[in-house]
Amino acid sequence: MDTETIMMSRALTTIDGNGSGSCWTCTRRNKRCDEGLPYCKTCLASGMRCHGYRPRFNWPWSTSTRQTRKRKGTRRRVGVKPLTGNALVESGANQPRLQPVYGVETENNYLVQHYLCNISRIALAVDYNENGYRSLLKLALAHEEIMDGLLAVSASHYCRWQNKADDLSHSHLRRAAKGLKARFESTRFAEDCTTVALMLLFISYEVFLGSTRWRPHYDAIRAWVQSRSDCSDLDPFLKTWICMVDTQCALNTGNAGLGELESWMGGQGDESHHNNMIDPLFGCSVRLPPLMATASRLYIEARELSLVVTIDKVNNLKRSIRETKIDLQAQPILNTTCASTSPNSFCMAPSMGQHDLPRRVMATAEIFRLATELYTHRIAYAPGYDASEEVERLIQEALNLMTVVPDVMGPGANLGWCFVVIGSELDLAEHRDYIRSRVASLHQLGMHNSKSSEKILEHVWAHRDLVACGIAQPLRWQDIVQQIGEQQILV
């Protein structure tokens, strides 16, 4: 028997730290536990998650892990080799190798490569030819302030990935802000399309950071759109980007979306492709974002008009959402929601097999459809926590499809909103733990808006437990989001 096997056999022992019968949460907090089932009322009353009474085990560190075990007083990441410079983009055999970008200062070249090779891929549900994020580099090479905005986004994300203090992004951000101010003071550039591209980079910087300071930037974009009588010259990718932020803001916070965007969505042309045409930015069918925008308006209407009127509209919208169902075996065609041209050719990520990625793309799109239908259902049928057969069906189908997209690679990076919508309906501890682990895996991307999803779910679950004990009244998860003051883009 080898050394590691001996360690496992000796160290796999139960912990009897709560031999008094208290739950693990009360044991840790040194509180008196009422030993109630299924959850301790002491925890529920204080808004804490009750970790139950089941035995726990001491899992030993393997001999190899012990050599890299985190030491007290250090911030070293266990088992992760720090990457610097070009090592980041060359760390995997599947990462594309880029030559130095002409026109970019040497010290900033690795940040540009990080943006092109990493951010432009994980910020989308699916990488594709003529990726809109990568196309911003053309603008950045022509406009210094846009280059500073791009470098600020890249530097901030790079530092989070490397688990180091951000001493790179702030200088770029300040210069980009000065450039944006100068643009608004110029009659030539104030309404130029490149100005809104810079503002979207500011939103990305704050959203990826997990900050709520993205909202003032989006308010400025709304004003910019409303001040323009015609936005037909705006790039379809930038239009879709604006629509995604607007839809998420409306769905999550209950604020009215921008009416001018309705005419932007749904102009792809050839109807024969719609059933398997996927938006690589949203990660769902191109037919779904307009319906999501409609659902956000109905949510606002439900708080102002009679329930009878809303139920009729909700049922009609649910039928429209079901009509967007796609065949999981079909080959996805990629196009942005706001495009009016022929679809882009499908670009297969080299890190996945040619068969696996299309299935993930289609499964992700279906998860979005199911989450949107469940969101719409809850507009008229408030959660009484006595789930109907329809709700159970939607939840089970979504959970089954999540196994097809088991990680954050590719389409799995965009499921944060779906995890919140589906997870807010769950009561079983194992289901919650599964969603909790999926949300936690999103943190690995270095885009910390996923931490908002985590916070929302913990508050929603704590409230559901209080309702189950008769201590609180049922609330929609969006209402809880407003109570705790969360304002974040969850995709």
DSSP-assigned letter for residue 69: P
Higher pLDDT: 333 or 364? It is 364
Task: Give yes or no for residue 241 having a pLDDT over 90.
Answer: yes
Percentage of residues of the chain with pLDDT beyond 90 = 37
Assign 429 a pLDDT band (cuts: 50, 70, 90).
Answer: very high
Higher pLDDT: 119 or 266? It is 119
Three-state SS for 278?
strand
Token pair listed for 65 = 């892990």
Higher pLDDT: 201 or 29? It is 201
Task: Give yes or no for residue 67 having a pLDDT over 50.
Answer: no
Task: Give yes or no for residue 384 having a pLDDT over 80.
Answer: no
* Range 188-211 average pLDDT: 91
Token pair listed for 425 = 């309906």
pLDDT number for residue 64: 34
* Range 5-17 average pLDDT: 39
Assign 186 a pLDDT band (cuts: 50, 70, 90).
Answer: confident
pLDDT number for residue 370: 97
pLDDT number for residue 256: 83
Token pair listed for 491 = 């995709």
Task: Give yes or no for residue 221 having a pLDDT over 90.
Answer: yes
Q: Say which residue the tokens 């682990």 belong to.
A: 437
Assign 274 a pLDDT band (cuts: 50, 70, 90).
Answer: low
Cβ partners under 8 Å of residue 232, min gap 6: none
Q: Which of 49-58, 262-271, 316-325 has the lowest mean pLDDT?
A: 49-58
Neighbours of 317 (CB within 10 A): 21
Kind of pairing between the strands at 277-278 and 56-57? unpaired
> Residue 83: exposed, middle, or buried by beta-carbon count in 10 A (0-12, 13-18, 19+)?
middle
* Range picked from 36-45, 106-115, 313-322, 327-336 for highest mean pLDDT: 313-322
pLDDT number for residue 344: 52
SS3 labels along 66-113: HCCCCCCCCCCCCCCCCCCHHHCCCCCCCCCCCCCCCCCCHHHHHHHH
pLDDT number for residue 111: 92
Q: Say which residue the tokens 């730290």 belong to.
A: 17
Task: Give yes or no for residue 7 having a pLDDT over 50.
Answer: no
Assign 102 a pLDDT band (cuts: 50, 70, 90).
Answer: low
Three-state SS for 281?
coil
Task: Give yes or no for residue 6 having a pLDDT over 70.
Answer: no
Q: Cis link prior to 216 (omega < 30° from 0)? A: no
Distance CA 123, CA 450 (A): 12
* String of DSSP letters for 311-351: HHHHHHHHHHHHTT---TTSPPEE--TT--SPPBPP---TT
Higher pLDDT: 87 or 241? It is 241
Cβ partners under 8 Å of residue 217, min gap 6: 199, 202, 203, 206
Residue among 303, 256, 449, 478 nearest 374 (CA): 478
pLDDT number for residue 100: 59
* String of DSSP letters for 393-424: HHHHHHHHHHTTS-SSSGGGGG-HHHHHHHHT
pLDDT number for residue 73: 44
* Range 89-109 average pLDDT: 54
Distance CA 141, CA 147 (A): 7
pLDDT number for residue 3: 43
Average pLDDT, the chain: 80
Neighbours of 25 (CB within 10 A): 20
Distance CA 266, CA 247 (A): 14
pLDDT number for residue 146: 94
pLDDT number for residue 486: 82
> Where are the chain's structural domains?
3-66, 92-234
Number of residues written out for the chain: 491
**Cβ pair 126, 409 in contact under 8 A:** no
pLDDT number for residue 168: 87
Cβ partners under 8 Å of residue 395, min gap 6: 374, 387, 422, 425, 426
Distance CA 476, CA 425 (A): 10
CA distances for 388 relative to 100, 198, 246, 453, angstroms: 57, 46, 31, 25
Cβ partners under 8 Å of residue 256, min gap 6: 250, 297, 300
| 3-66: CATH architecture | Irregular (4.10)
* Range picked from 293-307, 333-347, 418-432 for highest mean pLDDT: 418-432
Percentage of residues of the chain with pLDDT beyond 70 = 78
pLDDT number for residue 9: 38
Higher pLDDT: 124 or 396? It is 396
Q: pLDDT tens for residues 19-62?
A: 567 888 888 888 888 888 767 888 888 878 787 766 543 333 33
Distance CA 216, CA 47 (A): 32
Token pair listed for 233 = 């010259």
pLDDT number for residue 157: 94
Distance CA 448, CA 280 (A): 20
pLDDT number for residue 26: 86
Ramachandran sector of residue 20 (left: φ over 0; alpha: ψ -120 to 50; beta: rest): alpha
pLDDT number for residue 99: 54
Q: Which of 156-160, 169-173, 343-347 has the lowest mean pLDDT?
A: 343-347
Task: Give yes or no for residue 85 having a pLDDT over 50.
Answer: no
Distance CA 405, CA 207 (A): 24
Cβ partners under 8 Å of residue 375, min gap 6: 251, 295, 421
CA count, 13 A, side-chain hemisphere, 360 = 24
Q: pLDDT tens for residues 110-164?
A: 899 999 889 998 888 888 777 889 889 999 999 999 999 999 999 999 999 888 8
* Range 341-353 average pLDDT: 50
**Cβ pair 146, 139 in contact under 8 A:** yes
Higher pLDDT: 304 or 446? It is 446
> Residue 246: exposed, middle, or buried by beta-carbon count in 10 A (0-12, 13-18, 19+)?
buried
* Range 332-359 average pLDDT: 66
* Range 166-178 average pLDDT: 92
